[in-house]
Amino acid sequence: MDFQTGPVVMGVLNVTPDSFSDGGEYESVGAAVERAARMVAEGARIIDIGGESTRPGSSPVPAEEQFARTVPVIREIRACHPGIAISIDTRLAEVARAALQAGADIVNDVSALQDDPALPDLIASEGVPIVLMHKRGVPADMQAGGGPQYDDVVAEVIEFLSKRLRFATTRGIDPDRVIIDPGIGFGKRVEHNVALMRHLDRFVQTGQPVLVGASRKSFIGATLGIDDPRERLAGSLACAVLATLAGVAVVRAHDVKATVDAVRMCAAIRSSP
């Protein structure tokens, strides 16, 4: 994809019963495919399909259950929308392999190739893009006690992602196919997430495409005093605009149409002489 004219929007499609903002809404294949069609019509360039919630406090989902949730949906979306990019949000090589065989194009790994030793070789052999995301701890406990401490959250997250990129290249993964994600909301306090959003340009300066997923996250709710994730659109759009101004490549969003419009307007202003 060409990111020179501004970021592309990745639409979130959680086929899980327990995702933090839309759990249970798209568990059936029909509902999931209908939701994907709506996001494509609204301008999403990538559909990110997850069969395991990685929200704070969530538990791991076996590979077999992730297969059952995601593979039929990927097959149907690929058949209906041959031109759309499909991302599988998983930490497991077995799930990634099945998803790629079903028609997925990208692997989005919240563990940055740390949770499954078989995943790096799969990515290298298939030659597909991989998203490496930063997190502290595991979903079940990463926000325990209010979240971990950092001396300099921006520098530490950049250092972590740089190390994971080097690891990926030693395993034969093409660095041009690596996207980095600072992991907004994954083992961070509110102030850490705000600092990462404020300094997204430093991640862009690494030279790797950057993905930002701030949509509906709890730090927006904490900052604005909004408990219901579905009511956090304004804060989510503010984050999407900041990400666009910083030069990120991908904005991951639940509210696709509003995000596409905000990103397009912001990109047009940013590229003006």
Residue 2 lies in a domain: no
Residue 259 lies in a domain: yes
Q: Which of 38, 252, 257, 264 is catalytic?
A: 252
**Alpha carbons 175 and 269: distance in angstroms, whole number:** 30
pTM score, whole prediction: 0.92
Residue 202 burial (10 A CB sphere; 0-12, 13-18, 19+): middle
* CATH number of the domain that residue 253 is part of: 3.20.20.20
Residue 121 lies in a domain: yes
Confidence band, pLDDT 50/70/90 cuts, at residue 273 = confident
Residue 1 lies in a domain: no
Q: At CA 75, angle to CA 71 and CA 77, rounded to 5?
A: 115
Mean pLDDT on 39-62: 85
Is 136 a residue of the active site?
no
What pLDDT digit, counting tens, does each position of 219-242 carry? 999 999 999 999 999 999 999 999
What pLDDT digit, counting tens, does each position of 161-210 carry? 999 999 999 999 999 999 999 999 999 999 999 999 999 999 999 999 99
Is 230 a residue of the active site?
no
Q: Which of 55, 188, 216, 217 is catalytic?
A: 217
Give the range of the structural domain holding residue 224, as residue numbers without chain letter.
Answer: 8-270
Residue 203 lies in a domain: yes
What pLDDT digit, counting tens, does each position of 101-145 carry? 999 999 999 999 999 999 999 999 999 999 999 998 666 555 556
Specify the number of domains making up the chain: 1
> What 3-state class would DSSP assign to 269?
helix
Residue 63 lies in a domain: yes
